[in-house]
C-alpha cells in the first residue's frame, strides 16, 4: 500500500513530527543504543538514527555490542584536504550504518572553528567555510551513496558548548552568511543531505529550531533544500513554533510533544496545512530509507576493509609542523625512547555523542612496537605501570567515557639521571602530549588543557637537555583535539608531528609516519595561534563566554567575518602555525601559473613538481585577494584547493582549478545583496595561507550584484 499525506489521519501526521521520546543512547527499539527513531504510523515503519561523526556510534549494552570503525575525527579528515578520501570514509560509515539497520546518520558536524577552545571542535572541520563545505559535501556524498541519509548539523552558529541549550548567538548578517551559513549552503547545493539538524542555541534572539527566517526563507526558499529539518535532542522551548518555522521533526520527541501539537491544532494555533507540510517531508524521508525499502541488515559490516580506510584517512591527515635538520623520518632500527603517558592512553577520539566503539584500537606504544623501530621497553613499561596504577586495571575500558580522564597525568615521573641513561642508550626521544575534549563542555585556557602542565613542560625540558647534550633528536607528537599552546616550547624539540585524534589505527599510522612509509601530507584546517588570547573572539568575555559558572546568556560574534586566518592576516597577528600549513619529507615547487577568466568562471592552472627526495603529496591552495571596492574585504580568502596525487621525486602534476566569479562575492547586509566588486583580483597560489608561491591576476569589468 502506498502511504502518502492523504492516506494518514491528522493524529498520525502529528505523530510523525515527534520522534520516540528518550534522551541519550538507547532511544531506538530496533537498534537499542542508537540515538532515536521516528514513529511507525499508518503503514510507515519507524526509521532509526544514530550519531557520528567520527564513525557510527551505537552505544553497547550488557547484552550486545555494535562494533564500528573509529575513523579519525573530522578535523583530521579536513586536514587531509582530500575530498575523494573523505568520500570513501563517508561511504564506509554509510555501509556500517546500513549493515546495522540504521537509516539516517546524524553527521557530519559542520560548525566553524571560531575559537580553539570549543569542546566539540574535533567534530567540526575547519575555521574556513569553503574547506568545511567541500569536505562535508564529500562526506555526505559518501554516506548517501549507499542509501543511508546524512544529517548536516548543527544549523547554525553553535560554535561553543558553554550554555549551549540557551545561549543566544548574536552575529551580523554578513558574517552569518559568509562564514557560518556558507558551508551549509555548499552542502545543500552540492551534496543534497537528506536532513539538517537545527542547533540548540538561539540566533539573534530566536532559537534556531524556531526560526522561520533560517529554516524556511534561507534554507528552503533561497537554497532549495528539500529534505527534513530535525531538531537537536531537546532543543528549543516551543514545539508549535518549531513546526511553524519549518523544523519538521522534533527529536527525541515524546508523547508529550505529540499532545501539545495536537492541542495546538485543535485550538487553531497550528494549521493542518502546516502539519501536512512537515509531515509530507518526514514521509519522504521514511520512503527514501532502507527500512522502508525492505532492506535486511546483515549485522556484519566489513570492519577489516574499513580499518584500511581509517588508516588511509589518518595517514593523510597527519600534519608535520616542524622538522629541523631532517630529524624525521627515522631509519629502520632506530632506538626510540618513548616518553609520556599518551603512548599508552593515546586518545583516539573525543567524548560525547561523537564517541565511537571500535573492535580494536592501537595505541602509540603498540604501533611503534609493531614497526621497524626499536622501542626502549624498560622506559615504556614505566609508563604502562604508572597508567595502570593511576587509572586502575580496567583503564582501557573506562577510558573515553569520563570527563575526568581528560585530566592529564603527571608526566615527569623520571629523574634527570634516568632520562640521561635513556638518552645514552637510545638514538631519539619521542614525547607524546595527549588531550581530549567533548560535548557539553568547552576546553579551558589553563595548564593541562590549552597549556602544557608544569610536569609536561619539565619533561620536555629534561628530555631535550639530555638528548641534545648527546646530539640526539627530540620529536613531539601532539595527540590533541584542537590547537594547544606551542609557541613557548616548540624550540626545545626538533620535530613536531600533529596527529590529532586519529581513530582506531592511531599507533600504526603514527609509526609509519615516523619511519617515512607515510610522508605527512596533512595541512592545518585551522590556525594555531601563538596564544589563545590572540584569537579575535578572546578579546572580551562577551565575545567568547567560555566560563559556565558565569551562566552566560549571549555570545557576541564581535569579530564579524574576521575568523581564523582572515583575522590574523588583516590585523598582522603572527600565528604559531598558519592556516594551510604543513611540512613534508620532500619539497615541492610551483611553476607556470596561468589565470584565464571568462564571464562566469576563472580557470587557474599551474604545475607542481616534487623536487625533493621522497614521494609525497602536496596540498595546493588558491587564495584570492579582492580589489579595494565598496565592501571591506579580508586580505585573502581560500577559493579553491587540490591535493596532488602521489608524486615521485622529479614528477610533476598540472593542477587545474575553477573558481566561480559569484563565489568572490561579499554580502552587503544593508542592501541585502551579494556583491562582486569590479576591479583587479590577485590569484595567490601556495602551499599555505602564508607561503604563496605564484601570483596572477584577472579583472572583473563590471560590479556584479545578486540576491541571496
Query: Do residues 663 and 681 touch, judged by C-beta distance below 8 A?
Result: no
Residue 442 binding ligand BGC, by CB under 6 A: no
CB-nearer residue toward ligand BGC: 153 or 182 = 153
* Grid-cell match 550584484, residue found: 705
Distance, in Å, from the CA atom of 603 to the CA atom of 658, rounded to the nearest integer, reads: 5
- What is the contact mask toward ligand BGC in residues 639 to 668, using x (rule: CB under 6 A)? ------------------------------
CB-nearer residue toward ligand BGC: 26 or 448 = 26
**Among 556, 447, 551, 441, CA closest to 120:** 441
CB-nearer residue toward ligand BGC: 199 or 411 = 199
**Among 266, 112, 82, CA closest to 179:** 112
**Least separation, in Å, of the C-beta of 193 and ligand BGC?**
14
Distance, in Å, from the CA atom of 575 to the CA atom of 302, rounded to the nearest integer, reads: 42
CB-nearer residue toward ligand BGC: 184 or 383 = 184
What are the cell numbers at 496? Answer: 613536531
Query: Do residues 501 and 436 touch, judged by C-beta distance below 8 A?
Result: yes
CA atoms within 13 A on the CB side of 391: 27
Distance, in Å, from the CA atom of 454 to the CA atom of 451, rounded to the nearest integer, reads: 9
Residue 68 binding ligand BGC, by CB under 6 A: no
Question: Looking at 103, 159, 232, 274, which residue binds ligand BGC (CB under 6 A)?
Answer: 232
Distance, in Å, from the CA atom of 627 to the CA atom of 675, rounded to the nearest integer, reads: 12
Question: Looking at 141, 153, 306, 643, which residue binds ligand BGC (CB under 6 A)?
Answer: 153
**Least separation, in Å, of the C-beta of 242 and ligand BGC?**
16
Q: Considering only residues 470-499, where is the footprint of ligand BGC by CB under 6 A? A: none
The distance in angstroms from the start CA to the end CA of the chain is 41
CB-nearer residue toward ligand BGC: 440 or 649 = 440
CB-nearer residue toward ligand BGC: 232 or 412 = 232
CB-nearer residue toward ligand BGC: 150 or 459 = 150
**Least separation, in Å, of the C-beta of 111 and ligand BGC?**
10
Determine how β-strand 428-434 pairs with β-strand 335-339: parallel
Query: Do residues 643 and 81 touch, judged by C-beta distance below 8 A?
Result: yes
CB-nearer residue toward ligand BGC: 235 or 459 = 235
- What is the contact mask toward ligand BGC in residues 186 to 225, using x (rule: CB under 6 A)? ----------------------------------------
Residue 233 binding ligand BGC, by CB under 6 A: yes
3 state DSSP class of 610:
strand
Distance, in Å, from the CA atom of 204 to the CA atom of 390, rounded to the nearest integer, reads: 46
Residue 353 binding ligand BGC, by CB under 6 A: yes
Residues 6+ apart with CB under 8 A from 690: 578, 580, 581
- Is the bond preceding residue 267 a cis peptide, omega within 30 degrees? no
Distance, in Å, from the CA atom of 127 to the CA atom of 566, rounded to the nearest integer, reads: 10
Residue 351 binding ligand BGC, by CB under 6 A: no
**Least separation, in Å, of the C-beta of 59 and ligand BGC?**
10
Residue 51 binding ligand BGC, by CB under 6 A: yes
Total residues contacting ligand BGC by CB under 6 A comes to: 7
**Least separation, in Å, of the C-beta of 213 and ligand BGC?**
22
Q: Measured over all CA atoms, what is the biggest interatomic distance in the chain, rounded to whole angstroms? A: 82
What are the DSSP E strand ranges found in 559-618? 588-597, 601-610
Q: Is 232 a catalytic residue?
A: yes
Distance, in Å, from the CA atom of 194 to the CA atom of 266, rounded to the nearest integer, reads: 31
**Least separation, in Å, of the C-beta of 362 and ligand BGC?**
27
Distance, in Å, from the CA atom of 515 to the CA atom of 345, rounded to the nearest integer, reads: 22
**Among 365, 647, 350, CA closest to 521:** 647
CB atoms within 10 A of CB 326: 11
3 state DSSP class of 352:
coil
Residue 35 binding ligand BGC, by CB under 6 A: yes
**Least separation, in Å, of the C-beta of 97 and ligand BGC?**
14
Distance, in Å, from the CA atom of 66 to the CA atom of 34, rounded to the nearest integer, reads: 10
**Least separation, in Å, of the C-beta of 144 and ligand BGC?**
17
Q: Considering only residues 93-112, where is the footprint of ligand BGC by CB under 6 A? A: 106
CB-nearer residue toward ligand BGC: 400 or 585 = 400
Alpha helices per DSSP H over 298-426: 303-317, 364-369, 377-391, 395-398, 416-425
**Least separation, in Å, of the C-beta of 516 and ligand BGC?**
38
Q: At what angle do helices 416-425 and 454-469 cross, to 10 degrees?
A: 40
Residues 6+ apart with CB under 8 A from 213: none
Q: Considering only residues 105-144, where is the footprint of ligand BGC by CB under 6 A? A: 106
The DSSP-derived string for 647-683 is BPTT-EEEEEEEEEGGGG-EEETTTTEEEE-SEEEEE
Residue 422 binding ligand BGC, by CB under 6 A: no
CB burial string 661-686: b at 16+ within 10 A, e below: bebbbbbeeeeeebbbbeeebbbbbb
The DSSP-derived string for 392-459 is -TTHHHHTTT-GGGGSPPP---S-HHHHHHHHHH-SEEEEEEE---BTTS---SSBTTTBPPHHHHHH
CB-nearer residue toward ligand BGC: 34 or 459 = 34
Report the C-alpha dihedral over residues 530, 532, 533, 537, rounded to 10 degrees.
120
CB-nearer residue toward ligand BGC: 24 or 679 = 24
**Least separation, in Å, of the C-beta of 119 and ligand BGC?**
11
CB-nearer residue toward ligand BGC: 367 or 438 = 438
CB-nearer residue toward ligand BGC: 232 or 312 = 232
**Least separation, in Å, of the C-beta of 415 and ligand BGC?**
46
Distance, in Å, from the CA atom of 636 to the CA atom of 622, rounded to the nearest integer, reads: 10
Query: Do residues 677 and 701 touch, judged by C-beta distance below 8 A?
Result: no
Residue 241 binding ligand BGC, by CB under 6 A: no
**Least separation, in Å, of the C-beta of 594 and ligand BGC?**
44
Say which of 232, 412, 534, 569 is annotated catalytic: 232
Torsion sign (Cα): 453, 455, 458, 463: negative
**Least separation, in Å, of the C-beta of 127 and ligand BGC?**
20
Query: Do residues 412 and 462 touch, judged by C-beta distance below 8 A?
Result: yes
3 state DSSP class of 540:
coil
* Residues near ligand BGC, by CB under 6 A: 35, 51, 106, 153, 232-233, 353
**What amino acid positions are annotated as catalytic residues?**
232
Amino acid at each position: 500500500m502506498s502511504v502518502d499525506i492523504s492516506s494518514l489521519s491528522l493524529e498520525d501526521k502529528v505523530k510523525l513530527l515527534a520522534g520516540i521520546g528518550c534522551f541519550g543512547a538507547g532511544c531506538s527499539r530496533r537498534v537499542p543504543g542508537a540515538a532515536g527513531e521516528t514513529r511507525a504510523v499508518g503503514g510507515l515503519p519507524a526509521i532509526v538514527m544514530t550519531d557520528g561523526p567520527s564513525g557510527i556510534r551505537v552505544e553497547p549494552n550488557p547484552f550486545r555490542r555494535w562494533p564500528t570503525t573509529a575513523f579519525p575525527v573530522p578535523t583530521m579528515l579536513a586536514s587531509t584536504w582530500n575530498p575523494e578520501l573523505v568520500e570513501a570514509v563517508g561511504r564506509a560509515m554509510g555501509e556500517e550504518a546500513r549493515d546495522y539497520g540504521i537509516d539516517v546518520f546524524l553527521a557530519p558536524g559542520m560548525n566553524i572553528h571560531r575559537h580553539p577552545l570549543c569542546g566539540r571542535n574535533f567534530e567540526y572541520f575547519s575555521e574556513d567555510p569553503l574547506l568545511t563545505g567541500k569536505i562535508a559535501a564529500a562526506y555526505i556524498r559518501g554516506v548517501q551513496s549507499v542509501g543511508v541519509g546524512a544529517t548536516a548539523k548543527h544549523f547554525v552558529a553553535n560554535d561553543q558548548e558553554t550554555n549551549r541549550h540557551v545561549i543566544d548567538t548574536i552575529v551580523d548578517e554578513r558574517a552569518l552568511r559568509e562564514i557560518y551559513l556558507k558551508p551549509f549552503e555548499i552542502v545543500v547545493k552540492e551534496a543534497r543531505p537528506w536532513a539538517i539538524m537545527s542547533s540548540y542555541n538561539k540566533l539573534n534572539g530566536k532559537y534556531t529550531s524556531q526560526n522561520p527566517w533560517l529554516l524556511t526563507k534561507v534554507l528552503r526558499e533561497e537554497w532549495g533544500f528539500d529534505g527534513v529539518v530535525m531538531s537537536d535532542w531537546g532543543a528549543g522551548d516551543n514545539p508549535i513554533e518549531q513546526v511553524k518555522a519549518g523544523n519538521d521533526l522534533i527529536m527525541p520527541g515524546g508523547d508529550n510533544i505529540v499532545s501539545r501539537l495536537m492541542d495546538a491544532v485543535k485550538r487553531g494555533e497550528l494549521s493542518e496545512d502546516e502539519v501536512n507540510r512537515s509531515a509530507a517531508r518526514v514521509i519522504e524521508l521514511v520512503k527514501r530509507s532502507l527500512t522502508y525499502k525492505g532492506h535486511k541488515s546483515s549485522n556484519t559490516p566489513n570492519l577489516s576493509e574499513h580499518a584500511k580506510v581509517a588508516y588511509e584517512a589518518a595517514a593523510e591527515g597527519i600534519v608535520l609542523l616542524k622538522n629541523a635538520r631532517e630529524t624525521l623520518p627515522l631509519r629502520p632500527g632506530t632506538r626510540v625512547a618513548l616518553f609520556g603517558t599518551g603512548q599508552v592512553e593515546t586518545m583516539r577520539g573525543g567524548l560525547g555523542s561523537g564517541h565511537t566503539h571500535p573492535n580494536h584500537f592501537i595505541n602509540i606504544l603498540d604501533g611503534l612496537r609493531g614497526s621497524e623501530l626499536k622501542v626502549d621497553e624498560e622506559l615504556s613499561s614505566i609508563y604502562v605501570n604508572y597508567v595502570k596504577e593511576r587509572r586502575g586495571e580496567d583503564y582501557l575500558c573506562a577510558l573515553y567515557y569520563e570527563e575526568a580522564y581528560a585530566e592529564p597525568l603527571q608526566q615527569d615521573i623520571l629523574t634527570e639521571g634516568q632520562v640521561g641513561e635513556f638518552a645514552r642508550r637510545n638514538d631519539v626521544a619521542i614525547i607524546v602530549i595527549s588531550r581530549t575534549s567533548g560535548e557539553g563542555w568547552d576546553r579551558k585556557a589553563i595548564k593541562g588543557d590549552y597549556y602544557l602542565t608544569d610536569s609536561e613542560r619539565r619533561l620536555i625540558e629534561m628530555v631535550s637537555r639530555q638528548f641534545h647534550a648527546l646530539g640526539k633528536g627530540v620529536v613531539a607528537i601532539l595527540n590533541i583535539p584542537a590547537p594547544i599552546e606551542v609557541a613557548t616550547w616548540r624550540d626545545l624539540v626538533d620535530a613536531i608531528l600533529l596527529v590529532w585524534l586519529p581513530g582506531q589505527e592511531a599507533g600504526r599510522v603514527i609509526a609509519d609516519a615516523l619511519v617515512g612509509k607515510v610522508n605527512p601530507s596533512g595541512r592545518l584546517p585551522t590556525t594555531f595561534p601563538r596564544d589563545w588570547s590572540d584569537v579575535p573572539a578572546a578579546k572580551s568575555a562577551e565575545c567568547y563566554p567560555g566560563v559556565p559558572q558565569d551562566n552566560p546568556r549571549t555570545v557576541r560574534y564581535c569579530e564579524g567575518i574576521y575568523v581564523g586566518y582572515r583575522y590574523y592576516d588583516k590585523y598582522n597577528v603572527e600565528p604559531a602555525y598558519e592556516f594551510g600549513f604543513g611540512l613534508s619529507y620532500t619539497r615541492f615547487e610551483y611553476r607556470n601559473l596561468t589565470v584565464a577568466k571568462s564571464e562566469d568562471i576563472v580557470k587557474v592552472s599551474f604545475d607542481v613538481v616534487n623536487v625533493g627526495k621522497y614521494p609525497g603529496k602536496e596540498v595546493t591552495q588558491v587564495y584570492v585577494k579582492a580589489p579595494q571596492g565598496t565592501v571591506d574585504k579580508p586580505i585573502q580568502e581560500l577559493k579553491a584547493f587540490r591535493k596532488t596525487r602521489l608524486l615521485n621525486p622529479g614528477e610533476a602534476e598540472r593542477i587545474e582549478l575553477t573558481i566561480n566569479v559569484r563565489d568572490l562575492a561579499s554580502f552587503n547586509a544593508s542592501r541585502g545583496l551579494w556583491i562582486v566588486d569590479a576591479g583587479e583580483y590577485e590569484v595567490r597560489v601556495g602551499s599555505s595561507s602564508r607561503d604563496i608561491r605564484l601570483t596572477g591576476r584577472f579583472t572583473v569589468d563590471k560590479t556584479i550584484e545578486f540576491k541571496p
